[in-house]
């Protein structure tokens, strides 16, 4: 059996970081096993979801989230989070996770910055909890 298409059409299947792209165009025939001709391509989503202990969902730029080596390992490794593109932190409260994410963006913005870097302010009331979260997240 051959595969025929009257116009170009892109089919995209997959989840997480693994996607299979198939492009079929008019007049092209593929053998009975078109998948043998195609290679898996890696395409990383630009955003990831970080979920606090209370269930608040933060949509975060992948580069910012990767300031955390823990999150990077979870999303790049063979963990369930890799396919979902989201990580749940059952021990990190919403205000602490929000401050951590604020730091991710701060770090991303000011890494290799040549001019003066503004102070990253932390309220003393959350300092200990933030330090524990930072230690867990390896940031």
What integer pLDDT is reported at residue 120 of this predicted model?
Answer: 93
In three-state secondary structure terms, 31 is coil
pLDDT tens digits, one per residue of 92-109? 999 999 999 999 999 999
Cβ atoms 41, 19 nearer than 8 A: yes
* Predicted local confidence at residue 42, as pLDDT: 43
Please tell me the predicted confidence (pLDDT) of residue 60.
94
Instruction: Check residue 35 and give its pLDDT.
Output: 44
User: Can you tell me the distance from the alpha carbon of 46 to that of 42, in angstroms, rounded to the nearest whole number?
Assistant: 13
> Chain-centre distance of CA 74, in angstroms?
10
Is the model more confident about 40 or about 57? 57
pLDDT in the model for residue 79:
74
Residue 9's pLDDT is what? 52
């Amino acid at each position: 059996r051959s595969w025929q298409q009257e116009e170009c059409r892109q089919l995209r299947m997959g989840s997480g970081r693994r996607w299979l792209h198939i492009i079929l165009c008019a007049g092209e025939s593929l053998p009975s096993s078109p998948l043998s001709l195609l290679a898996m391509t890696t395409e990383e989503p630009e955003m990831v979801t970080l979920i606090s202990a209370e269930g608040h969902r933060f949509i975060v730029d992948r580069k910012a989230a990767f300031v955390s080596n823990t999150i990077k390992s979870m999303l790049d490794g063979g963990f369930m989070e890799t396919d979902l593109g989201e990580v749940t932190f059952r021990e990190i409260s919403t205000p602490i996770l929000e401050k951590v994410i604020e730091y991710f963006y701060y770090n991303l913005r000011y890494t290799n910055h040549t001019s003066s870097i503004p102070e990253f302010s932390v309220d003393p009331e959350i300092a200990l909890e933030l330090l524990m979260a930072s230690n867990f997240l390896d940031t």
